[in-house]
Amino acid sequence: MGFAFAFEAVLRLRRSQQRQQELLLQKANEEVNAALREVRTIAQQFAQIASSFRLDSDLRASELHFNQMLCRALEERRQKGEERLAKFRGEQAALAAELRKVWRQREVLEALRQRHYQTYLLEQSRREQRTQDDVFLSHQRYLRNTN
């Protein structure tokens, strides 16, 4: 009789749940990284505009006004980007916590399965040893009876 683990279906479910959580966390990581890149890009654009203010002292009023409007728009985009980044980081943390929970549940079942398998191997070894002992004793009795 082969090894059979009573909770094999549950273990497969836990493995599947863990894989799903890993994929969700990977997606959340990508969203965090994209939002972070966006915030950094906006900061670079803002720095370029600020640098142009300092370098070009002969700006016309219209150019100055345009740059100020551009700075305000960039600041609004930066704030929204920061809010998105914070939201994505919160989701990322929640998904990471859920992954740890699912991982622990799977690990418990894996450990239980391993213990059951070790017990199965031990019992199988004992059965084989008993069979060999029985064959040996039968052979010994046969030899005694024939002499």
What ranges in 1-146 are assigned the alpha helix state H?
8-55, 61-146
Q: For residues 6 and 56, is the Cβ–Cβ distance under 8 A?
A: no
Tokens in use for 81? 């980007």
Q: For residues 46 and 78, is the Cβ–Cβ distance under 8 A?
A: yes
| Residue 82: predicted pLDDT | 95
pLDDT in tens, 109-146: 999 999 999 999 999 999 999 999 999 999 998 888 88
| Residue 57: predicted pLDDT | 61
Residues of the chain with pLDDT under 50: none
Does the model's pTM come out above 0.85?
no
